[in-house]
């Protein structure tokens, strides 16, 4: 079985072949299905599912990070099979058409970015203590602006290279830079009381070996160093992970550390996604209180 794509003036036609014969076809104009049919001799055998799933897949319908919205004309009311197929892929009747809207979940990283965006102003010193592929460092560069300074740290040289390359592609080399270093040593890069923000996104480097990941004891030293580096009013963020690969010792140790911080000096927020799985990423924020004692 194979699917052939033909570009039309108004969209794309998809032909489903079984051996040499076309047994199904569909036309997608932008994100609007204007035709969808399976040869009656081959109906009820899963070919409609195969064709629809493949078209949705090729057009971003299963992307977990981006929103997608597909529509199709309402089938004839007597066409139960068409309604069943559409329903199986999340189409529902809305405003006289079938509509399939997918809005990605808010991720832990997005939540932290939103919270930090509301708390920090341009200028100043920002540290990304786990720069990885550089997305958080780039985000901090956007926050810091041309008058700010951003440093990314990572123990893996490939992460440092990836981050510096991402900053360069986005014209941020003058604002941010990544260096190969253990975040437990971050005092070398930020004197006490100097940083507006210190960001941690623990775990392993996405796309690399899962064998290299942050470790509880070292992470606690790094969190303490991060707090020492903050200026009064500054904020530390940390996304904690648990699960099969990483275990839960780092998450528990970091939570214990955060919960023991004196209220007179720190405001501590643990932002649990309460209706997600137990091992969902756990964003935490620590604000160093101005005038704390």
Binding site for ligand SAM (CB under 6 A): 130-136, 153-156, 159, 182-183, 201, 203-205, 212-214, 218
Pick the closer one to ligand SAM by CB: 38 or 223. 223
Burial of 74: CB neighbours in 10 Å, binned 0-12, 13-18, 19+? middle
Pick the closer one to ligand SAM by CB: 38 or 225. 225
Q: Do residues 178 and 152 touch, judged by C-beta distance below 8 A?
A: yes
Q: Report the nearest approach of ligand SAM to the CB of residue 279 (Å).
A: 15
Q: Report the nearest approach of ligand SAM to the CB of residue 234 (Å).
A: 18
Q: Which residues touch 200 (CB under 8 Å, ≥6 apart)?
A: 129, 130, 183, 219, 222, 223, 226, 236, 237, 238, 239
- Distance between alpha carbon 36 and the CA centroid of its chain, in Å? 33
Please list, residue by residue across 218-236, b when 16 or more beta carbons sit within 10 angstroms of its beta carbon and e when fewer do: ebbebbebbbbbbbeebbb
Please list, residue by residue across 22-41, b when 16 or more beta carbons sit within 10 angstroms of its beta carbon and e when fewer do: ebbbbbbeebebbebebeee
Q: Report the nearest approach of ligand SAM to the CB of residue 265 (Å).
A: 25
Q: Cα(25)–Cα(107) distance, rounded to whole angstroms?
A: 36
Q: Report the nearest approach of ligand SAM to the CB of residue 146 (Å).
A: 21
Q: Do residues 218 and 182 touch, judged by C-beta distance below 8 A?
A: yes
Q: Report the nearest approach of ligand SAM to the CB of residue 124 (Å).
A: 19
Q: Report the nearest approach of ligand SAM to the CB of residue 58 (Å).
A: 27
Q: Report the nearest approach of ligand SAM to the CB of residue 68 (Å).
A: 24
Q: Report the nearest approach of ligand SAM to the CB of residue 32 (Å).
A: 35
Pick the closer one to ligand SAM by CB: 26 or 153. 153
Please list, residue by residue across 239-249, b when 16 or more beta carbons sit within 10 angstroms of its beta carbon and e when fewer do: bbbbeeebeee
Pick the closer one to ligand SAM by CB: 71 or 237. 237
- Taking CB atoms, the residue at the shortest distance from ligand SAM is 132
Pick the closer one to ligand SAM by CB: 43 or 107. 107
Pick the closer one to ligand SAM by CB: 125 or 205. 205
Pick the closer one to ligand SAM by CB: 7 or 277. 277
Pick the closer one to ligand SAM by CB: 11 or 148. 148
Q: Cα(251)–Cα(44) distance, rounded to whole angstroms?
A: 49
Q: Do residues 239 and 206 touch, judged by C-beta distance below 8 A?
A: no
């Amino acid at each position: 079985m194979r699917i052939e794509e033909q570009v039309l003036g108004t969209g794309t036609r998809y032909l489903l072949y079984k051996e040499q014969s076309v047994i199904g076809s569909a036309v997608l104009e932008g994100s609007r299905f204007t035709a969808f049919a399976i040869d009656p001799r081959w109906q009820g055998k899963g070919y409609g599912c195969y064709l629809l799933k493949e078209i949705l897949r090729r057009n971003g319908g299963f992307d977990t990070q981006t929103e997608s919205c597909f529509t199709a004309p309402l089938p004839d009311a007597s066409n139960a099979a068409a309604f069943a197929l559409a329903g199986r892929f999340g189409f529902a009747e809305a405003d006289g058409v079938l509509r399939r809207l997918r809005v990605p979940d808010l991720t832990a990283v997005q939540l932290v970015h939103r919270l930090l965006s509301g708390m920090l102003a341009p200028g100043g010193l920002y540290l990304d203590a786990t720069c990885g592929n550089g997305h958080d460092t780039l985000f901090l560069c956007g926050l810091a602006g041309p008058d700010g300074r951003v440093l990314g740290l990572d123990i893996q040289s490939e992460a440092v290279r990836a981050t510096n390359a991402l900053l360069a592609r986005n014209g941020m080399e003058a604002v941010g830079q990544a260096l190969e270093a253990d975040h437990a040593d971050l005092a070398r890069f930020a004197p006490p009381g100097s940083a507006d923000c210190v960001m941690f996104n623990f775990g392993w480097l996405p796309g690399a070996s899962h064998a290299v990941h942050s470790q509880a004891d070292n992470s606690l030293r790094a969190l303490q160093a991060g707090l020492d580096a903050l200026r009064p009013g500054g904020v530390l963020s940390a996304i904690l992970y648990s699960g099969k690969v990483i275990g839960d010792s780092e998450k528990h140790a970091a939570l214990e550390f955060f919960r023991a911080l004196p209220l007179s000096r720190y405001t501590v927020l643990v932002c649990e996604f309460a209706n997600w799985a137990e091992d969902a990423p756990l964003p935490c924020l620590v604000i160093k209180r101005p005038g704390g004692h």
